[in-house]
Amino acid sequence: MRFALEQDEDGWPPVTSEGVWARPVGDGEYELDNVPWFARRVACGDRVRAEPDQDGVLWVQEHIAWSGRYTIRVVARQEGALSGGLQEVIDRFSPLGAECEGALPAYDIVALDIPPTARLAEIKNLLRRGVEEGGWEYEEGCIDDRWEEI
């Protein structure tokens, strides 16, 4: 299934649509089965409503329910402390309970799929520290008030 995406004035995200895995749960509803790279305000496990276009491609129309998981995207700086090393990003966040997936070779991004049982405060502190140290930038793709209050 696909999400239609709007690019900002800087051309981000670098695509105008994104495909994700999903499984049908009935009545035109689907559960996302992977962490989105670019779609905002959705996470793995969320439920969405989708409809097929004239070619049979499913397009997300509506967000139905949040799974409780967080989506954070980490972009390692090529000139930074990690020299763009995505595996180093993965190695730092995985022990804290984040499920991580790198997007190479297409994009220098690690998507963090964070369950609510993960060590959220430690993950958020590590994200901030990485920015301060010049190792990466990050985007909060799907968060809630609990995340904001950390």
- Please count the structural domains in the chain: 2
The reply to whether 60 and 123 lie within a common domain is no
The reply to whether 53 and 98 lie within a common domain is no
Q: Which of 50, 65, 80 is the last residue of a domain?
A: 65
What is the domain extent for residue 9?
2-65
Neighbour count for residue 25 (Cβ, 10 Å): 12
Q: Which of 15, 46, 65 is the last residue of a domain?
A: 65
Q: What is the model's pLDDT at position 84?
A: 54
The reply to whether 57 and 122 lie within a common domain is no
Determine if residue 83 is left, alpha or beta; phi over 0 gives left, psi from -120 to 50 gives alpha, anything else beta: left
Q: What is the model's pLDDT at position 10?
A: 93
Q: Write the pLDDT tens digit of every residue in 66-110.
A: 999 999 999 987 775 555 578 889 999 999 999 998 877 778 899
Confidence of residue 131 (pLDDT cuts 50, 70, 90): very high
The reply to whether 85 and 121 lie within a common domain is yes
Long-range pairs, 128-132, Cβ under 8 A, ≥24: 130/74, 130/89, 130/92
User: Domain holding 138: CATH number?
Assistant: 3.30.70.2380
Q: Which of 36, 45, 43, 44 is nearest to 5 (CA)?
A: 36
Q: Which residues contact 148 (CB under 8 A, 6 or more apart)?
A: none
Q: Which of 65, 88, 107 is the last residue of a domain?
A: 65
Tokens of 79: 């000139």
The reply to whether 28 and 43 lie within a common domain is yes
Q: Which of 33, 6, 29, 9 is nearest to 20 (CA)?
A: 33
C-alpha span between 62 and 145 (Å, rounded): 21
The reply to whether 74 and 125 lie within a common domain is yes
Q: Write the pLDDT tens digit of every residue in 7-57.
A: 999 998 999 999 999 999 999 999 999 999 999 999 999 999 999 999 999
The reply to whether 78 and 35 lie within a common domain is no
